[in-house]
């Protein structure tokens, strides 16, 4: 079934390089004329997705349709898309005019028509009178403008932009953002924009697709993505946020930082563990303590231009970031208040590590390609496939990788107010989630130990 509203339909695309999964069953629909941004940290698969759209590389699985036509196997020169590359990729042996006319000449467009179109796109990118210049004599910003002009001169149905502003300085980037938005409006064609800059994504897009580790995390408008992040990754990646462990007491009542708050979320069930996101600008901070929902002590206060950024610590040890136009002195007691609509409650992706395992003998179990000692168990046979559960806080991380039963590196970390929630990638490529009070950095090599009494064996579902 094809829907005519969609100019691009990406269906269940998967792609791996060697053992590494880059894209994992990704499906995206893009409406005609939309400005869509694929946003994510480096290595999330966003550039690979764009390259598959352009035709540089083949997906292992899935299909891509443009205008309802399957183009999965079409070579790049026959696709109705054009690309603006991150590092411009202008042809250094041709001047500005010849660069822009390159595609038109190949299509055998008459010379006077080429002339007209080159002048038109040069005007569009504010580069009139530059047509005879050598491309290498232009500044970075000017080269990027020529690259954009070259791509739109071919009048593509879809323009693909691969971090086009990443190499420019901040001021130039801001100007180009406005111009790109304006260009999108004038051309009326679909833009697919890839970036790791969340601010750029929020400024430019009609729709943002947040990606991480080859999977789509959330698709939505900039306001949706900012105000209602669907998981802790999105909340952490887009803007500043306080991400905390919480418990849904019942509908419209959630408990976190040791207090109960009214909220607007329903349908999570009663007494369910959740993640709670509160944006720092949504926490009201005041001197008087009455009328406040909870109190805290100011730890630090930094001037950020428009607002002050303060870290406060509640009486039960949770650290929160608060932004306000007024400064509050460090060490002063403050009252805090959060409105129900500003509390974003999210399902927890997992509440403990659940790992496929195999019983070795009476007190050993094998998982992650390693045999672990566990407490004597009953009811399981040798070689039986089981699952083990390990609480986040019971995984012990040590400095020296070689001294651990397993070794790995810190892949992702999230501050949860009173502890860090780490994602560890073991050397064998498995994920393990850990709660710890120790401070680790992304990329740290760690040894991993798990005590026998902390390995809980449960029956496999199968």
Partner 1 sequence: MKRFFAQCYIWLLLIILYAPIVFIAVFSFTESKVLGNWTGFSTRLYSNLFTGDMQGTGSLMLAIENTIFIALVAAVVSTVLGTVAAIGIHNMRGSTKQAITFMNNIPMLNPDIITGVSLFLLFVFLHISQGYLTVILAHITFCTPYVVLNVLPKLTQMNPNVYEAALDLGATPFQALRKVLIPLLKPGMISGFILAFTMSLDDFAVTFFTRGTIGLDTLSTYIYTDARKGGLTPELRPLITLLFVGILILLIVINIRQIRNSNTENK
Residues contacting partner 1: total by CB under 8 A: 27
Q: Which residues pair with 28 in a beta bridge?
A: 10
* String of contacts with partner 1 for each residue 96-135, x by CB under 8 A: ------xx--xx----------------------------
| 93 scored as a contact of partner 1 (CB under 8 A) | yes
Number of CB atoms found within 10 A of residue 271's CB: 10
For partner 1, give the closer residue by CB, 102 or 308. 102
Which is closer to partner 1, CB of 4 or CB of 107? Answer: 107
Residue 138 near residue 100, CB atoms below 8 Å: no
230 three-state secondary structure:
coil
Nearest to 43 by CA among 426, 442, 419, 351: 442
Q: From 148-156, 217-225, 227-235, 420-428, give the range in contact with partner 1 by CB under 8 A.
A: 148-156
Burial class (CB in 10 A: 0-12, 13-18, 19+), 211: buried
Residue 71 CB, shortest distance to partner 1, in Å, is: 14
CB of 189 to partner 1, least distance (A): 15
Q: Which of 42, 77, 110, 288 binds partner 1 (CB under 8 A)?
A: 77
- The reply on whether position 82 binds partner 1 by CB under 8 A is yes
Residue 92 binding partner 1, by CB under 8 A = yes
Least distance (Å) between residue 82 CB and partner 1: 6
Q: Which of 33, 43, 76, 401 binds partner 1 (CB under 8 A)?
A: 76
Pick the stretch among 69-77, 182-190, 423-431, 441-449 that binds partner 1 (CB under 8 A): 69-77
Taking alpha carbons only, the member of 206, 193, 180 closest to residue 83 is 193
Regarding 144 and contact with partner 1 (CB under 8 A), the answer is no
Which string of b and e fits 339-375 if b means at least 16 CB within 10 Å?
Answer: eeebbbbbeeeeebbebebbbeeeeebbbbeeebebe
Determine if 426 is a binding residue for partner 1 (CB under 8 A). Answer: no
What's the CA gap between 152 and 433, in Å, rounded? 46
User: Looking at 72-80, 225-233, 261-269, 324-332, which segment touches partner 1 (CB under 8 A)?
Assistant: 72-80
Nearer to partner 1, 135 or 183 (CB): 135
Give the contact letters, 22-61, x = binds to partner 1 (CB under 8 A), - = no. Answer: --------------------------------xxx-----
Query: Which residue stretches of 10-71 are H helix?
Result: 46-54
Q: Is 91 in the site for partner 1 (CB under 8 A)?
A: yes
Helix (H, G, I), strand (E, B) or coil at 132: coil
Q: Does 237 bind partner 1 (CB under 8 A)?
A: no
Residues in CB range of 107: below 8 A, 6 or more apart = 154
Shortest spacing between CB 321 and partner 1, in angstroms: 40
Is 193 near partner 1 (CB under 8 A)?
Answer: no
State in angstroms the smallest separation of the CB of 51 from partner 1: 8
Strands (E), 18-149: 20-31, 35-39, 61-66, 69-70, 81-84
Q: How far apart are CA 287 and CA 297, in angstroms?
A: 11
Tell the smallest beta-carbon distance from residue 135 to partner 1 (Å). 11
- Contact status, residue 109 vs residue 117, Cβ threshold 8 Å: yes
331 alpha-carbon distance from chain centroid? 36
Under rule CB under 8 A, residue 145 binds partner 1: no
In the bound state with partner 1, the residue whose beta carbon lies nearer, of 88 and 433, is 88
Contact criterion met (CB below 8 Å) for 42 and 65: no
Closer Cβ to partner 1, 86 or 245, answer by number: 86
Stretch that binds partner 1, among 59-67, 91-99, 333-341, 429-437 (CB under 8 A): 91-99
CB 148 within 8 A of CB 138: no
- Residue closer to partner 1 by CB (options 106, 458) is 106
| Rounded Cα gap, residues 390 and 113, in angstroms | 68
Residue ranges that bind partner 1, judged by CB under 8 A:
54-56, 75-77, 81-83, 85-93, 102-103, 106-107, 136-137, 150-151, 154
């Amino acid at each position: 079934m094809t829907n005519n509203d969609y100019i691009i339909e990406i269906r269940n695309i998967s792609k791996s390089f060697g053992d590494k999964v880059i894209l994992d069953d990704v499906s995206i629909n893009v409406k005609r004329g939309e400005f869509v941004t694929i946003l994510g940290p480096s290595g999330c698969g966003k550039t690979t997705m764009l390259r598959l759209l352009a035709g540089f590389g083949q997906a292992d699985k899935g299909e891509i349709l443009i205008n309802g036509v399957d183009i999965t196997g079409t070579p790049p020169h026959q696709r109705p898309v054009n690309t603006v590359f991150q590092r411009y990729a202008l042809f250094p042996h041709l001047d500005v005019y010849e660069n822009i006319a390159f595609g038109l000449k190949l299509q055998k467009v008459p010379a006077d028509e080429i002339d007209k179109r080159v002048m038109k796109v040069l005007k569009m990118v504010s580069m009139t009178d530059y047509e005879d210049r050598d491309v290498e004599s232009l500044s970075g910003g000017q080269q990027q403008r020529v690259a954009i002009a070259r791509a739109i001169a071919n009048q593509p149905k879809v323009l693909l932009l691969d971090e086009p502003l990443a190499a420019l300085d901040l001021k130039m980037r801001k100007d180009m953002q406005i111009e790109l938005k304006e260009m999108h409006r004038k051309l009326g064609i679909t833009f697919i924009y890839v970036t790791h800059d969340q601010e750029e994504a929020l400024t430019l897009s009609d729709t943002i697709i947040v990606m991480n580790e080859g999977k789509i995390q959330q698709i939505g408008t900039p306001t949706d993505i900012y105000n209602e992040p669907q998981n802790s990754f999105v909340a952490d990646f887009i803007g500043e946020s306080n991400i905390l462990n919480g418990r849904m007491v019942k509908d419209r009542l959630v408990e976190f930082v040791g207090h109960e708050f009214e909220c607007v979320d329903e349908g999570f069930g009663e007494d369910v563990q959740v993640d709670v996101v509160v944006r720092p600008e949504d926490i009201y901070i005041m001197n008087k303590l009455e009328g406040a929902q909870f109190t805290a002590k100011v730890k630090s206060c930094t001037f950020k231009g428009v607002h002050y950024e303060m870290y406060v610590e509640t009486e039960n040890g949770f650290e929160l970031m608060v932004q306000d136009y007024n400064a509050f002195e460090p060490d002063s007691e403050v009252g805090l208040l959060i409105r129900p609509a500003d509390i974003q409650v999210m399902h927890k992706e997992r509440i403990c590590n659940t790992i496929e395992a195999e019983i070795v003998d009476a007190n050993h179990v094998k998982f992650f390609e390693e045999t672990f000692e566990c407490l004597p168990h009953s009811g399981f046979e040798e070689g039986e496939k089981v699952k083990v559960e390990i609480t986040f806080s019971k995984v012990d991380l040590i400095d020296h990788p070689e001294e651990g039963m397993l070794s790995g590196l810190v892949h992702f970390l999230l501050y949860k107010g009173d502890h860090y929630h780490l994602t560890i990638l073991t050397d064998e490529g498995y994920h393990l989630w850990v709660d710890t009070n120790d401070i680790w950095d992304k990329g740290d090599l760690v040894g991993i130990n798990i005590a026998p009494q902390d390995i809980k064996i449960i029956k496999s579902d199968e």
